[in-house]
Amino acid sequence: MSIVRRLDPALRHLAAARIDLSAETLPALRESVNGRRREAAEGLDTTGVEITEEVADGVPLRLYRGGTAGTVLFCHSGAFVLGNLDTDHRWCVEMARSVGCLVVSVDYRLAPEHPHPAALDDASAVLRVLAADPVVGRIALAGNSAGGALAALLAQRAACGELPPVVFQLLHQPVLDDRMTPSKEEFVDTPGFDGQAVALMWQYVSRDAAPARSAELSGVAPALITCSELDPLRDEAVDYALRLMWAGVPVELHLYPGTCHGFDSFLPDWQLSRELFAVQATALRRALAG
């Protein structure tokens, strides 16, 4: 069955949407994506959320204050090579307002100009700053796509004592494994992100950026993993959830049928996207409340 027929009808108009991460097109792609996300961020209703921008240990941040329930350190999407503080602005506003917490979005350095572990080092530095501030309360991690890889790596570092402890990790459509999977082989023409884009992404970062390469997962923070059926990253999300469970880590897994990578960014007001946001908010609210 073709990808178009497998896509939910609400997403079929996106069937031809592709992302080209080739080195020669990367500068123009960054400019285009950043411009669209900036316009979307400027037009968003942020009622109930106080938004400021700060710098912590040299890393630019955007803070979303929606309440005092705790703190979420968030890493944006972008295949390690794209994105900034506008990329997942809507998600941060949604979570700050729905959970009643502080969301701290990290403007980490991008590959290939800043090779791994530059992005992870930036996120680690921010986590240390947050943990040293008694006002932030309990700290959860969250990440979207490549940001999910960073969140998962932070959780692993926290579990082995390299970083301060965290109470939860939320991984949405996460990049987790550089190795081939059936979904990467199958989904070579899926909208949003396809197998070719995944292969190009891994040319910019080393295998050390793949959380699934870790042999030891016991003791990491409990997790919520959300993923899409028609996504080359699907199998590594499911595999990682299983490995967490086998390691004794509490994990909740949601796979959304008929959806592609980034469906919630393409259609944030779609019913399924709203259901996804509600699941994520509930999980964060529970984790931060202890």
- Give the catalytic positions in this structure: 145, 231, 261
State yes or no: cis peptide before 117, omega within 30 of 0: yes
Cα 176 from chain centroid (whole Å): 11
**Rounded to 5 degrees, what angle do the CA atoms 178, 62, 141 make?**
45
One-character DSSP codes across 212-225: GG-S--TTPPPEEE
Structure tokens at 80: 């390690």
Token representation of residue 186:
């199958």
Rounded to the nearest 5°, which phi and psi values hold at 254?
A: -125, 125
Query: Of 76, 79, 49, which is closest to residue 64 (Cα–Cα)?
Result: 49
Beta bridge partners of 106: 61, 75
Q: Please, what's the b/e burial string for 113-142 (b: 16 or more CB within 10 A of its CB; e: otherwise)?
A: eeebbbbbebbbbbbebbbeeeebbbbbbb
Contacts of 80 (CB under 8 A, 6+ apart): 110, 111, 116, 119, 146, 149, 175, 201, 204, 205, 209
Give every CB contact of residue 5 below 8 A, 6+ residues apart in sequence.
none
